[in-house]
Each structure stands twice: as C-alpha cells, then as structure tokens.
Amino acid sequence: MCVLLVNILESFLGECRGHNEGKGQTKFDCPSCSAEKLLDNGDGKGKLEINYRKGVFKCWVCAYKNNMHGPIEKLIKKYGNNHNMRDYLLVKPDNNYEQETYVDKNIHVQLPSEFIALSTCSQYEPQYSFAMTYLKERGIDEEIIREFNIGYTHEGKYRGRVIIPSYDEFGDVNFFVARSYSNYIKPKYLNPEAEKQQIVFNHNKINFDATIYLVEGAFDHIVTPNSIPLLGKIMTYKIKMLLTENAKADIVILLDDDAYVDAVNLYKELDFGELHGRIKICKPPYGHDSSSIHQKLGKRGVIKLLKNSRRLEIEEMF
C-alpha cells in the first residue's frame, strides 16, 4: 500500500525525496515554491512533507504564504488530475484503522482537558495570577506566553503548574512540560508519558535555514531564538538525523554551565559529515543557563550570551 501511494504522489509531484514507512511520511520538492525557481526537476530540497498515514501535507517554506498545507485531497486538486484523485481515494488508508495501529506504536499525547491558554483567559480565573506572577518572576513576558501558547489548569492532575505545550511538524501536540509554580507542589516537573525518543519539541517552529541552538529545557527554549530543547543533556537519534538532513546553517550547543563535558561530547558527535565545520559551542557563565540569563538580564543578555558561540580548538576536544 505504501508503495502504491508513493507512486501516485510521484506521478504528479516528481521524484520522492525521502520516505519513512514507519511514520507514513514522505518528502517531495514543493510544486509551489520550488517551481518559482523555474527548475525542471524541482530544487531537490524536499520541503513538501506528506504524511499519508495522517492524510495531510505541508511545505516547510511556503505553507502559509502559498497556502501549501492541509488534507492530501487539496494537494491533488491543485496539482494532480482526476486520475490521481481516483487512484488516491482507492488506496488511501482507512483512517480509523490506521489511527488505531498508530496509537499502538506511539503514545498519543494531548494537552490536559482542563488546559487554558494564559493569553486567552480572563484574569479573574482562579490560579491565573499565581501562574502569571511565577512567569513574570522568571522574566517570561506576554509576548513569549502568546508565542508558545503557555497555559495552566485550575483543576485536575496539573493544577498549580505552568504548562508549556510542544507541537510536532504538523502542528499537533506531541508533548508538554508542566512546571509547578508553588514550592508546595512536588515534583517540580510533571510531564506526560510519551515516547521520548520520538519527540522533537516544537518541531513546527524550527527554521533550518538559520542558526539552531540546542538547549536543555523548555524554559531555556522559550527564551532562546530558534532553539530545540533536548529535555536533558543527551541528543536523541531522531534530533540528530533531523539536523543532519535539514540544518543549513550553524548549530550551537548551549547546555547548562554544569554540563560542559556533555556539551563537548555532543559537539564531537555532531561535527561530522554533512555538519562538519558548522557546530559551535556556547558556555554560559558559572551557575547559569539561558533561562537564568534571561531572567536576570532579559533578551539582550541572551543575545550577548549567544555571541560567545565559537568553534572548539582541537586540543579542547580531548
């Protein structure tokens, strides 16, 4: 079935540039933005991603500019013909069945049902001012709250916590971090059960054409431009492959000050093959990470910190 589907897509999109059967994900050159460059065989970049298991597509470059996202039927209507549509409808996965098998393989994370986005809720909601006070103390302003859809709940398991959601490449929730804003609520972090190896936190926000910063936690991520939080000090295989295949500019490793050895190890792991020569390291001052720098010195402090990114000398790597 997978092969048939890919054949149908290839018949009007040209050569498939990548295929992950496990996820049902394929890549093609975008018929909209790559055609603007007037190349006969596409630009070879494979920025149009199609997930036939979910039945959706999205171009990483022009999704919103050229309206290149949505159900696969929309893509076929725009660029295929009636034959393509008929073939597709014949072989397209039966949604219910596919979703069930999908859930078996991956734990499907959803935001708590009681989740309320802070940017949309009334200031008279209970707990609202506690959550806002906590964020303000950490230097998180309303712009960041809106950009990352930060929220909270006033009841249920996650009550008393600030929630930072994470979205996958299609804009679906794939994880969240719930940090308590009261010293009485333990543990500090209560995160959902998930297949951590598969999560790229806020995948949909990554700009692969610009410098990417690898940080440790979600609170570092929301104050560091174009960053990916590793949710720890170790990089998953998935993030490594994503960077190797897509990153076009530098990658800066910015772990907490106490994790410098881990940072150097990551540097050595990434500074290889496609990425060789484009890996840098940024060491925060003693006792700090980008979140605490932001809390103390604001945006400017973070920008100043990022300016210290540098390549390692060979003798520093052993």
Nearer to Zn ion, 32 or 292 (CB): 32
Here the tokens at position 26 are 């394929």
Task: Specify the stretch interacting with Zn ion by CB under 5 A; choose among 13-21, 37-45, 52-60, 117-125.
Answer: 52-60
Nearer to Zn ion, 75 or 302 (CB): 75
Print the binding letters for residues 65-84 with Zn ion: x by CB under 5 A, - otherwise.
---x----------------
Shortest distance, position 129 Cβ to Zn ion, whole Å: 43
- 30 is a site residue for Zn ion (CB under 5 A): yes
* Residues written for the chain: 318
Strands 151-152 and 116-117: antiparallel
Nearer to Zn ion, 15 or 100 (CB): 15
Shortest distance, position 35 Cβ to Zn ion, whole Å: 9
DSSP code of residue 135? H
Nearer to Zn ion, 14 or 192 (CB): 14
- Amino acid letter, 251: I
Task: Specify the stretch interacting with Zn ion by CB under 5 A; choose among 1-9, 27-35, 108-116, 291-299.
Answer: 27-35
Among 6, 13, 62, 305, binds Zn ion (CB under 5 A): 62
Shortest distance, position 48 Cβ to Zn ion, whole Å: 6
Shortest distance, position 65 Cβ to Zn ion, whole Å: 8
Q: Please return the burial class of 263, using the count of CB atoms within 10 Å of its CB with bins 0-12, 13-18 and 19+.
A: buried
- 33 is a site residue for Zn ion (CB under 5 A): yes
| Nearest of 42, 47, 11, 9 to residue 27 by alpha carbon | 47
Asked if 178 and 158 count as a contact pair (C-beta separation under 8 A), the reply is yes
Which residues, other chains included, contact 196 with Cβ-Cβ below 8 Å and sequence gap of 6+? 231, 236
Among 9, 13, 56, 59, binds Zn ion (CB under 5 A): 59
- 224 is a site residue for Zn ion (CB under 5 A): no
- 32 is a site residue for Zn ion (CB under 5 A): yes
H or E stretch including 182?
none
Here the tokens at position 121 are 């809720």
Strands 161-167 and 173-180: antiparallel
Asked if 178 and 191 count as a contact pair (C-beta separation under 8 A), the reply is yes
- Point out which residues bind Zn ion (CB under 5 A): 30, 32-33, 59, 61-62, 68
